[in-house]
Amino acid sequence: MAFRELSPAGSRAAVISDPMILPFKWRNSDAYYYLNHLGGLRVADGDPRDILSVEKLVAWMKEKSDSTVADQSYLSLLFHPFFQETPEKAAAMAEILAYIKSKPGV
């Protein structure tokens, strides 16, 4: 038996025969904060068009982690290795992952 997965942008996890679908919301992806051409998505979410700060990424992902643990719900965070090109961005990803790991029951 082979395992396959697909991770499209979306809002709910689902199993539709094969493969399993693990969606992500753009706001939960580092690309949302770092890519210029996603300004339209940011505006649609009520954020400024300009690239967002690393601090905003960390704050949002910690907030979403807290609410997900409290609700015992599903959360998909997406980090791209090629965005970790600066010490600040790599440290932000490490901080978020350590924060999630420190949560009881995670």
In a domain, 92, yes or no: yes
The residues, any chain, with a CB within 8 Å of residue 101's CB and separated by 6 or more, are none
**Segments forming the whole domain that contains residue 51:** 25-101
Q: 9 forms bridges with which residues in the sheet?
A: 24
Contact 69, 75 (CB under 8 A): no
Q: For residue 5, tell me if it sits in a domain.
A: no
- Please state the domain count of the chain: 1
Q: Residue 14 falls within a domain, yes or no?
A: no
**Residue 32, in any domain of the structure:** yes
Q: Is residue 1 part of a domain?
A: no
Q: What is the pLDDT of residues 53-94, one digit of tens each?
A: 999 999 999 999 999 999 988 888 999 999 999 999 999 999
Q: Show Cβ contacts of residue 86 under 8 Å, excluding neighbours closer than 6 positions.
A: none
pTM confidence score = 0.81
- Beta-bridge partner residues of 29: 78
Span 2-26, pLDDT tens digits: 555 555 666 666 666 666 677 789 9
The answer to the question of residue 97 being in a domain is: yes
Give strand pairing partners of 5: 20
